[in-house]
Structures are given as C-alpha cells and as structure tokens.
Amino acid sequence: MPYQDMPFVCEERLRLPAGRPIRVGSPAWFAWLDQANHFSYQPPSGNDRLTFRKEKRRHGWYWYAYLKRDRKLYNAYAGRSATLTSDRLQQLGRQLLAKARKGHKRPP
C-alpha cells in the first residue's frame, strides 16, 4: 500500500486520493505530471513499489525512481515528464528490481 494520500500508478492508471483515475500516457497524465512532485508505482509483477520524485537539477526538473529493499535505497534516472510513459515506468521497475537482486547477492 502506498503512503496515505500519495498518488499511485497501478495497472496503467493513476489513482488520486480524490478524483477519477487517469490513464498513463494520456494528455491528462502528462498535464498532471507537470504539476506533481511525487507518486508511487506498482510494477505489473510483484509487490514492490517504486517512488518517483521530481527533482531540480542544473537545467530543469527531472524525475527519479527509488526502490527501498532490505534497508537499502536504489535509484534510477527516469527523465523528464514527457518521457514517463507506461513502457518507461515498466522499464524502470525492471531496472531497479534487477539492481536490488544484484545488491542482495553480494558476498559477506
């Protein structure tokens, strides 16, 4: 379960605390991303949840994805709002889950 009142994406729909769901990739989705600063995402397979945060860098605002597993935080660059499609969210989910699996297999 995402943090209470945090918008979250599940099954290609953005679920907001109040209001109707928004389909990922729609014009309403991109308009919402321009105004938002964070949301969580549940990949199609598994129970893990990623958190996406918009962060200011040198040349503007960019999204970053985070996954916390076994008290370790993994992150990945997600891109600008215009690049956050359903395929990109899934790709980032796979990427961070792979990072977490690699990190968990390190020898003592």
Per domain, the residue ranges of the chain are 8-104
Q: Can you give the pLDDT at residue 59? A: 87
Q: Can you give the pLDDT at residue 107? A: 53
What are the backbone angles phi and psi of residue 38, rounded to the nearest 5°? -165, 155
- Mean pLDDT for each consecutive 10-residue tract of the chain (108 residues)? 76 90 96 96 84 93 93 94 95 92 65
What 8-state DSSP symbol labels residue 81?
G
By CB neighbour count within 10 A (0-12 exposed, 13-18 middle, 19+ buried), where does 89 fall?
buried
Q: Can you give the pLDDT at residue 106? A: 53
d(CA 3, CA 38): 11
Sequence-distant (≥ 6) Cβ neighbours of residue 55 within 8 angstroms: 61, 62, 63, 64
Q: Can you give the pLDDT at residue 102? A: 83
Number of helices (H), then strands (E), in the chain = 2, 7
